[in-house]
A and B are shown apart, each in its own frame.
Chain A
């Protein structure tokens, strides 16, 4: 057997080895179990039960006028070039496990390939029961998410404006990813 054949056989073994390794890595990817929850139904996460009871979409300026939410840290940064809107989700939250002693409301909303986290300052500003510390299990919290045209581009912004954008609130990711679908949104 000449050197050329040995080189080809070695190359073949290398290619098979790499292909096998790549196949193994992809077969063993640890993907979460996805639990999709339609609007109005509840999902359990971190010992709490979450249910979206209402959703509304506001123009950015109108929202601030309506809620007088001047403590918001991003207020005033909106440029004339890019638009923004605020989606407000009303959650009913029940504590279902005794050891769940943290009110975990920092849950991101996802649309297209963009995420927005809960704006804690703004959330506190429009929920007096959180500010005053009187929130009890079974009450509702209104969580606003500011959606910037800058992040998603003009094409996707049209979907936001004509109310066809798909929104999902994520509760956790692994081992179970709860995706709370937001489908019924009132335009304010």
Chain B
């Protein structure tokens, strides 16, 4: 089992899709960091230099705030459009590295060769694990890179609600971490996005069996994401806690979405993971390697 897993991981890390996904993610991070450095950090520094000149009558008198690490982090910086762009294309980035690998291998009958050598169960689980991790890496690594770059010019101090530089409300999910331990919030949310990146890749891998069209299978997660965000939420707003489209973004829609909380998020994630895993393993357990 270890050999086949190691082989799948090696293939996954060396795939062109992984390089392309990480490059695209890194590009967004670099552009966003440049933007926030110029428009958030330098603007705030400019205000800081004026503090001494302000007198009682000035509207900014005594009201200067130090920027915090989350204001420059791709996950929570919402003044530019990079956050929205990143979380819109996140399902595509997640699918790029290895989402279609299983489909390609099955079509080329490479799968048949591996199944004969190591057994179907081992191959399926190794493929599932590698695909899940590939999607997670593609989704989470840009967020970690952004956090690292943000930490290079913004301090990891608690977020002050008075500063009006916050994106969450007190009743938002993990608000305590957001306000008191911003780095922990960023890491916890990166973990959540890692899981969803993995699930997106696995959704594509599972659906490719029936869709037959590679492009259609690759686009399925982003389609589900958009359906959840733009369609289901508007038609049935009470389902908000169970729509991954709404809680993937650490901004949590600026805290305006009412009831996102840990319980429903965990429940949805576990059910989705169980469904995807079950369908993938179940549908491929007795699948004919040559004719199907």
Contact = CB atoms under 8 A, between A and B. Distances in A.
Contact of B171 (A97, A100, A115, A156): A156
A53 interface: no
A172 B63 contact: yes
Contacts of A97: 56
Contacts of A104: 56
A176 B62 CA distance: 8
Interface residues of B, number: 31
A99 B171 CA distance: 42
Contacts of A45: 62
Interface string B122-148: 000000000000000000000000001
Nearest to B259: A153
Contacts of A4: none
A22 B152 contact: yes
Contacts, number: 83
A173 interface: yes
Interface string B54-75: 0111000111111000000000
Nearest to A172: B62
Interface in A24-74: 25-26, 28-31, 45-47
Contacts of B171: 150-154, 156
Counting chain B CB atoms within 10 Å of each CB, the highest count among A113, A154, A175 belongs to A113
Contacts of A115: 161-162
A101 interface: yes
B66 A30 contact: yes
Interface of B: 48, 51, 55-57, 61-66, 148, 151-157, 160-163, 166, 169-171, 175-176, 178-179
Given A25-B153, A150-B171, A172-B61, 4 more contacts: A25-B154, A46-B62, A113-B170, A174-B64
